[in-house]
Amino acid sequence: MRYYDRLVFELSKPGRVGFSLPDASEGLAALSGIDSRLMRSVPARLPEVTEVDVVRHYTNLSQMNFGVDTGFYPLGSCTMKYNPKVNEEISGVFADVHPLQPESTLKGVKTVYDCLGKSLSAITGMKKFTFLPCAGAHGELTGLMLIREYHLRRGDTARTKVIVPDSAHGTNPASAAVCGLEIVQVKSDASGLVDVESLKPLLGPDVAAIMMTNPNTLGLFESNIKSIASMVHEAGALLYYDGANMNPLVGVARPGDMGFDVMHLNLHKTFSTPHGGGGPGSGPVGVGEKLVDVVDSQKVSGFHGNFAVMLRALAYILMLGRQNVGMVGRLSTLNANYIKESLKDSFKLPIPSVCKHEFVFDGLADDGSDGGSRPGASTLDVAKRLLDFGFHAPTIYFPLLFHQAIMIEPTETESLETMDAFIDVMHKIAEEAKKDPEVLRSAPHTTPVGRPDETAAARNPILKYSFE
């Protein structure tokens, strides 16, 4: 272990300080006016370290973290793309507003919301957006609440079911359940698309909506979307679009034109806000013509949502401009197909058709050497081994349709050279799996922590330093 990989408590030496100020501890209670009975009698057991120890401690911690600013992050169903720093800068300069500021001082802020609403409407084909939801799942819940409100206002009270494809992101059924709706699953067919024949009998007067992602979670475009939309509308239900991963569509196709009535976007995936650290995010919800009257009926958060995220999104869209915005969808699709085609000899490709922004392998290709036996390493082993080469692992064991799923989404922001380097490493790992699978099974070899017991880490997290 490197010296500065130690916990800050382990660096501590009694009496060591990182400042030089007159001792005011005696008079602290008097100075602050706090009742002395409320003051601590024993000093807090804080680490006693110098300034340089503190700086090294935090700088080293920050370097243990893998981010899109440190390397390639091909995480499927999550769009980990590079966020241009200029958008960060603009957000930092202008986001300095207080939610309780008088409205007369917020004309510029209002203009930002208006412009962003118009831009997102142009990109998605929706009529109007609400910016209150603070995350993708929050947007889903809001969208479903709007759908329920729409049906109720028409006196249509029996619609309590939501149809969700088996390939859907886990938040879809979860949001429907939180909204008090019953979830009905629709199967995918052999080509990975929603099975239209299975969908037909599910539609009826008790269905409020179908939630879909297009391209779906396998990265495949639901080419039957137009006929699905007519079927659903004929049955009196609405179409909800999960636009968390809008990347492949930006500037190419619009959910509004496909027949979707309500959708959310993840500004923190597609529109330049970094994500993965737990926020802040934004999941604005857009509605089509039918729901314009209900879009402001659900007050799902205080104030106006996360303004700094809106600023980044607007700056991002305006920086790209009308012409370049069309390259987002095209390049993210081209890059995914490039990696898929380059690796399909080493990894099992269950659905070989052209993909959109992401695709799924089902583990390593069978080892041909002794009559097609199973490969000597699992998807987890491949993911762990990638860390040794400085790449973040793809999404693994999701979607659940394949047992050894490896889901790769390169995004449009990666260069050909970066992708080639990743492809080389993936081939190399596949080679190792044949010749020396133990190297994979014991990976990673270069990270501070190798293979923690993930269940124990989640169930019994150790969040406090024990001074024993």
Ligand X SMILES: *Cc1c(COP(=O)(O)O)cnc(C)c1O
| Per rule CB under 6 A, count of chain residues that contact ligand X | 14
Interaction of residue 242 with ligand X, rule CB under 6 A = yes
What minimum distance in Å lies between the beta carbon of 364 and ligand X?
A: 25
- Tell me whether residue 8 or residue 265 sits nearer to ligand X (CB atom): 265
How is residue 172 written in tokens?
């879809």
449-to-1, 64, 388 alpha-carbon distances in Å: 11, 10, 12
What minimum distance in Å lies between the beta carbon of 397 and ligand X?
A: 16
The residue of the chain with the least Cβ separation from ligand X equals: 136
Q: Burial letters for 59-77: b for 16+ Cβ neighbours within 10 Å, e otherwise?
A: eeeeeeebebeeebbbbbb
What minimum distance in Å lies between the beta carbon of 341 and ligand X?
A: 24
Could you write out the DSSP letters of every residue in 350-389? S--S--SS-EEEESBPPBGGGTSBPPSS-HHHHHHHHHHT
Among 266, 298, 335, 378, binds ligand X (CB under 6 A): 266
* C-alpha to C-alpha distance for 22 and 43, rounded to whole angstroms: 17
What minimum distance in Å lies between the beta carbon of 130 and ligand X?
A: 16
Contact 364, 377 (CB under 8 A): yes
* Contacting range for ligand X; rule: CB under 6 A; set: 8-16, 24-32, 111-119, 241-249: 241-249
What minimum distance in Å lies between the beta carbon of 135 and ligand X?
A: 4
Interaction of residue 409 with ligand X, rule CB under 6 A = no
Interaction of residue 213 with ligand X, rule CB under 6 A = yes
Among 49, 68, 77, 173, binds ligand X (CB under 6 A): 77
What minimum distance in Å lies between the beta carbon of 66 and ligand X?
A: 18
- Tell me whether residue 142 or residue 346 sits nearer to ligand X (CB atom): 142
What minimum distance in Å lies between the beta carbon of 246 and ligand X?
A: 10
Among 124, 130, 171, 379, binds ligand X (CB under 6 A): 171
Q: Using CB under 6 A as the criterion, what x/- string covers residues 279-298 for binding ligand X?
A: --x-x---------------
- Tell me whether residue 242 or residue 432 sits nearer to ligand X (CB atom): 242
Judged by CB under 6 A, the chain residues 84 through 143 that form the site for ligand X are 135-137
* C-alpha to C-alpha distance for 379 and 393, rounded to whole angstroms: 10
Q: Which residues, at least 6 apart from 104, have a Cβ–Cβ distance to it below 8 Å? A: none
Tell me how many degrees the CA angle 242-396-377 measures, rounded to the nearest 5.
Answer: 160
Q: Using CB under 6 A as the criterion, what x/- string covers residues 27-56 for binding ligand X?
A: ------------------------------
- Helix, strand or coil, per DSSP, at residue 287: strand
- Tell me whether residue 405 or residue 433 sits nearer to ligand X (CB atom): 405
- Tell me whether residue 266 or residue 346 sits nearer to ligand X (CB atom): 266
Among 211, 218, 229, 244, binds ligand X (CB under 6 A): 244
Contact 372, 313 (CB under 8 A): no
Mark residue 393 as left, alpha or beta (left: phi above 0; alpha: psi -120 to 50; beta: remaining): beta
Among 49, 68, 75, 78, binds ligand X (CB under 6 A): 78
Could you write out the DSSP letters of every residue in 189-258? -TTSSB-HHHHGGG-STTEEEEEE-SS-TTS---TTHHHHHHHHHHTT-EEEEEETT-TTTTTT--HHHH
- Tell me whether residue 8 or residue 75 sits nearer to ligand X (CB atom): 75
What minimum distance in Å lies between the beta carbon of 356 and ligand X?
A: 13
Q: Which of 359, 166, 320, 176 is nearest to 262 (CA)?
A: 176
Judged by CB under 6 A, the chain residues 369 through 388 that form the site for ligand X are none
Contact 181, 161 (CB under 8 A): yes
Among 128, 148, 169, 357, binds ligand X (CB under 6 A): 169
What minimum distance in Å lies between the beta carbon of 266 and ligand X?
A: 5
186-to-199, 207, 245, 300, 306 alpha-carbon distances in Å: 6, 13, 21, 29, 34
The per-type count for the chain, helices as H runs and strands as E runs, is 16, 10
Contacting residues toward ligand X, per CB under 6 A: 77-78, 135-137, 169, 171, 213, 242, 244-245, 266, 281, 283
